[in-house]
Amino acid sequence: MTDNNELRFDGAVAVITGAGRGLGAAHARLLAARGAMVVVNDVGGSLDGSADEGASPAQELVAEITAAGGHAVADHHDVSTPESAAQIVQTAIDEFGRIDIVVNNAGILRDKTFHQLDPADMQKVLDVHLYGSAWVTRAAWPHLREQNGGRVVMTTSVAGYLGNFGQANYASAKAGLIGLTKTLAIEGGRRNIKVNAIAPGARTRMTEQVLGPLADRLDPSFVSPVVAMLAHESCPLNGELLLAAGGRVARVHSAQTRGWFDEAPTPESVLANVDTILDPTDAPVVEAVEQEFAVLTDWLGSTD
């Protein structure tokens, strides 16, 4: 790509949550380098969200961006309550006068097998990932609606649609984010608000123990161009989920097998036809609820 068609963010204001380190910091560096004014939000917490480590990664990143000639401000509010999330958006309005982009990225881990999972470990992970993304987006939403334009990027995970051992809380939160993305895309699309999600893979403190030999190939900066494209006003996508890791980008979509039909199914006949029900041959992409009804109508209609 030549400089002439570089995707620029001059005049745009972005809130990036959990941006003091890891993936969020990489996103903030890239958007700021391309002209965005960035609210670098981060509570500076420990990996499990149990304690404030006293560090200020958000402030350090803001100093770095500012030294490089960019515009950024630090914000230390917690994403996980409606009141505090609203303060993050207010920081954008107070400091830069508007908000155009929300990148919901803040996250914690409290991995435990389900039989050891305390209610608090379930609640806290849902609070930060799912509710935090909803609250920050909700605070930004009236501004985006009023100006007839905005971009929201959610950060989900492969665990959200495939599940992962020891991650019942995290996978539930990340699956919830997929539903939130799809619904906000439908509602926001009418006002040029596009809402998409990424399922990233990158070496950060969250993953350094689990990536193995691939770790050196998975710098967070490989993910940020995908976020930047989704955050840009020229983004053609809405309601999509993109995998992004190490430079590979792919679409994750819902497919529906051709399925099996019987006018009078019984538990026994369903069991006898499990292989047909699961057969992935000729499994079309399903993109909207209406399509589900159309498929069912086809089946039921075919019995006339």
**Residues known to be catalytic:** 170
Widest distance between CA atoms in the chain: 72
44 interacts with ligand NAD by CB under 6 A: yes
* Strand-strand pairing, 37-41 and 71-75: parallel
Binding of ligand NAD by 18 (CB under 6 A): yes
With 0-12 / 13-18 / 19 or more C-beta atoms within 10 angstroms meaning exposed / middle / buried, residue 304 is exposed
Work out which of 74, 103, 108, 231 binds ligand NAD, going by CB under 6 A.
Answer: 108
Neighbour-count burial of 113, counting CB atoms closer than 10 A to its CB (0-12 exposed, 13-18 middle, 19+ buried) = exposed
Tell me how far, at minimum, the Cβ of 27 lies from ligand NAD, in Å: 9
169 near ligand NAD, rule: CB under 6 A: no
Residue 41 within binding range of ligand NAD, rule CB under 6 A: yes
Q: Based on CB atoms, which residue is closest to ligand NAD, 105 or 238?
A: 105
Min separation Cβ 256 and ligand NAD, Å? 26
DSSP 11-54: T-EEEETTTTSHHHHHHHHHHHHTT-EEEEE---B-TTSSSB-S
Residues numbered 109 to 138 that lie near ligand NAD (CB under 6 A) are: 128-129, 132
Closest CA to 244 of 105, 62, 102: 105
Least gap, CB of 216 to ligand NAD (angstroms): 14
**Residue 160 near ligand NAD by CB under 6 A:** no
Our finding on whether 107 is near ligand NAD (CB under 6 A) is yes
205 counts as binding ligand NAD under rule CB under 6 A: yes
Are 92 and 74 in contact by the 8 Å Cβ rule? The answer is no
Tell me the chain's radius of gyration from C-alpha atoms: 21
21 lines the binding site for ligand NAD (CB under 6 A): yes
Residue 158 CB, nearest approach to ligand NAD (Å): 7
- The owner of tokens 């019995």 is 303
DSSP calls for 134-161: HHHHHHHHHHHHHTT-EEEEEE--HHHH
Write down the least CB distance from residue 240 to ligand NAD, Å.
16
> Residue from 17, 91, 167, 224 that binds ligand NAD (CB under 6 A)?
17
Minimal distance in Å, beta carbon 85 to ligand NAD? 9
Residue 80 as a binder of ligand NAD (CB under 6 A): the answer is: yes
**Span interacting with ligand NAD, options 32-40, 59-67, 104-112, 249-257, rule CB under 6 A:** 104-112
Those residues with Cβ within 8 angstroms of residue 83's Cβ, 6 or more apart along the chain or in another chain: none
Q: Which of 152, 10, 153, 5 is nearest to 70 (CA)?
A: 10
Number of residues that bind ligand NAD (CB under 6 A): 34
Helix (H) or strand (E) holding 182: helix 168-189
**Binding footprint of ligand NAD on the chain (CB under 6 A):** 17-18, 20-24, 41-45, 47, 49, 57, 78-80, 105-108, 128-129, 132, 155, 157, 200-202, 204-207
